[in-house]
Homo-oligomer: A and B are copies of this chain.
Amino acid sequence: MNDRDGYDLGPDRLFPGLADPVLSSASLLNEIASRHPHAIPMAAGRPYDDFFDPAELPGLIGDYQRHLSNELGLDRVEVTRRLFQYGRTAGHIGALVARTLAHDHGITADPDAIVVLTGAQEGMFTVARALCASPRDVLLVTSPCYVGMLGAAKLLGIETAAVPERPDGLAAADVAAVAARIRSAGRRPVALYLVPNFSNPSGHTLTLTQRRELLEVAATHRMLLIEDDPYGFLADSSCRVPALKALDRDRRVVHIGTFAKTCFPGARVGYVVADQRVGLPDGGRGLLADQLALIRSMITVNTSAIAQAVIGGMLLRCGGRLSEANQGRVAHYRRNLTMLLHALEREFPPAVREAYGVSWTQPVAGFFVVLRVPFVVDDDTLRLSATRYGVLWMPMSYFYVGGGPRRELRLSCSALDPEQIDEGVRRVAALVRDCAGNEEDNRDDDATVPADAVHRS
């Protein structure tokens, strides 16, 4: 085969999007993490291990089976089919999801408008595919933005337009400005993707006013809002704001959810509420949800029936009240975030903060804090951090359309023990002091400094 130089396939034979930092960053991070298994994992946004117990799995599947036979009245053959056969492409547990959405989020959703998908990621991918009808179409995204949405758009060749977040989160006026700019270029803004609660990566939670304004702007510009809400369950009464979908009066919001953080990520079960009425090419009408199901039938066919059974069992056990069932997790994550913020205060006292120009975000809940530092943070900085300082985190450049130099990194506290948080922040502080010192020596280079220069020593 050997196209050239011992390759089987030269670089021109692979999808060029694979070279985009959004996609390649994931592999880089995995590679660094696997080479440094003992580095403190402040990069990972995964849940804390202690919430999981393999011994519960058989019971959960059993509960779901009993639900199928006792409550839905399925016979033995039908129950077996639900667990083993292909099944309906929109998934089996839409009604259980609808009940949970009603209890936990005040979202009223017809189960027929719910598509169960292979995690929120397949939701983003499927929604983006459905709504971007032509190369004219542009998907608006917050900036910074969750990498999963940027990656999905890249794979589909969908153009994204960044709406920069302000220090207090996304402003409707900025969304309007970007939408107007897109229209004036003869193109169409189709939707805005955002994570309104404890956003990944910025940590912002939008106020009720901000949400209402976004709904208005979306209506004015005939755009949809794609609300991705993996962290909403973390809100207690002190910081709970209604979901965009709960405020939605004219089917302006497509709501993406997941059980990754409330149940477990390995299930790969998420969902989309898509109650929009769509005109079909044949002149008929249907629900957007049905079109999403068609798309997913050509991506994954459906969500693993076994995974749906386990998640179904969990939803049954808590009576569709996941927020209540998750009070222990909420307390854990809140304590971890508080510890992370305290550790940052301790390691960067005001004088140091000011001298170096270090600052960080103050999210009310969530897994993430963004740390602003006085030097460009890139893959080489991460490698250095893993090798010499024994701590992993995410360069914020991964979360921006087009990447580019950024003087920020994201710290996650979700998967860590208290001691790891303290020690992790100590290590990050050592890295920052050393890099900032070097940067000081080379201050003339400033913003245009090549990334590797930061690590000169």
Binding site for B on A (CB under 8 A): 1-16, 18-19, 23-24, 26-27, 30, 46-47, 49, 52-54, 57-58, 61, 65, 77, 79-89, 118-119, 121-122, 125, 129-134, 148, 151-152, 154-157, 190, 219, 222, 250-252, 260, 264-269, 276-282, 285, 288, 290-291, 293-295, 297-307, 310
For the complex, give the distance between the alpha carbons of A8 and B224 in Å: 10
Which residue of B3, B18, B57, B88 is within 8 Å of A294 (Cβ)? B18
15 contacts between A and B (CB under 8 A): A5-B279, A7-B277, A7-B279, A14-B131, A16-B133, A24-B282, A26-B89, A27-B290, A49-B84, A54-B79, A58-B58, A118-B300, A122-B299, A154-B298, A268-B304
Whether B266 lies near A86 (C-beta < 8 A) is yes
Are B157 and A266 within 8 A (Cβ)? no
Chain B: which residue is nearest A149 at the CB level?
B298
Q: Which listed residue (B6, B24, B298) contacts A155, Cβ 8 A?
A: B298
Contact present for B122 and A300 (CB under 8 Å): yes
Apart from A3-B222, A11-B279, A19-B281: 7 A-B pairs, beta carbons within 8 A: A1-B250, A13-B133, A14-B131, A16-B134, A118-B118, A118-B304, A304-B304
A297 to B129, CA, bound (A): 16
Which of A190, A269, A278 has the most B CB atoms < 10 Å from its CB? Answer: A278
On chain B, the residues within 8 Å of A155 by CB distance are 129, 295, 298-299
CA gap between A54 and B148 in the complex, in Å? 34
A46 touching B85 by the CB < 8 A rule? yes
What is the minimal beta-carbon distance from A343 to any residue of chain B, in angstroms?
A: 24
Q: How many copies does the complex hold?
A: 2
**Chain B positions within 8 Å of A61 at CB level:** 54, 57-58
**Which residues of the other chain, B, contact A53 by a CB distance below 8 angstroms?**
80
A85 adjacent to B281 (CB under 8 Å): no
A8-B276, A85-B266 as given contacts; A148 in contact with B298, CB under 8 Å: yes
Report yes or no: B306 in contact with A8, Cβ–Cβ below 8 A.
Answer: no
Chain B residues within 8 Å of A282, by CB: 19, 24
Contact among B83, B119, B251, B298 with A52 in the assembled complex (CB-CB below 8 Å): B83
**Contact of B54 with A268 in the complex, beta carbons under 8 Å:** no
Contact A297 B26 (CB under 8 A): yes
The answer on a CB contact under 8 Å between A299 and B7 is: no
Q: Most B CB atoms within 10 A — which of A18, A121, A129, A307?
A: A18
| Shortest CB distance A159–B (Å) | 14
Say yes or no: A83-B300 contact (C-beta < 8 A), given A282-B19, A307-B306. no
Bound Cα distance from A7 to B276, whole angstroms: 8
Contact A294/B24 with A9-B288, A268-B304 known, Cβ cut-off 8 Å: yes
Contacts of A46 in B (CB 8 A): 85-86
A18 touches B299 (CB 8 A): no
Q: How far is the CB of A307 from chain B (nearest CB, A)?
A: 4
Taking a contact as CB atoms under 8 Å apart, the answer to whether A84 and B290 are in contact is no
Residues on the B chain within 8 Å of A279, using CB: 3-5, 7, 9-11
User: Chain B: which residue is nearest A290 at the CB level?
Assistant: B27
Q: Are B83 and A266 in contact (CB under 8 A)?
A: yes
Contact residue among B15, B131, B302 (Cβ-Cβ distance under 8 Å from A129): B15
In the complex, what distance in Å separates the CA atom of A26 from the CA atom of B129? 17
In the complex, chain B residues whose CB is within 8 Å of the CB of A3: 222, 279
Once the chains bind, are B294 and A84 in contact (CB under 8 Å)? no
Q: Are A27 and B294 in contact (CB under 8 A)?
A: yes
Contact B23 A276 (CB under 8 A): no
Which 3 pairs, one residue from A and one from B, show the smallest C-beta to C-beta distance?
Answer: A266-B305, A151-B298, A19-B281
Which residues on B sit within 8 Å (CB–CB) of A130? 14-15, 18
Chain B residue nearest to A135 (CB atoms) is: B157
Out of B58, B89, B119, which one reaches A30, CB within 8 Å?
Answer: B89
Which residues on the B side are within 8 Å of A7 (C-beta)?
277-279, 285
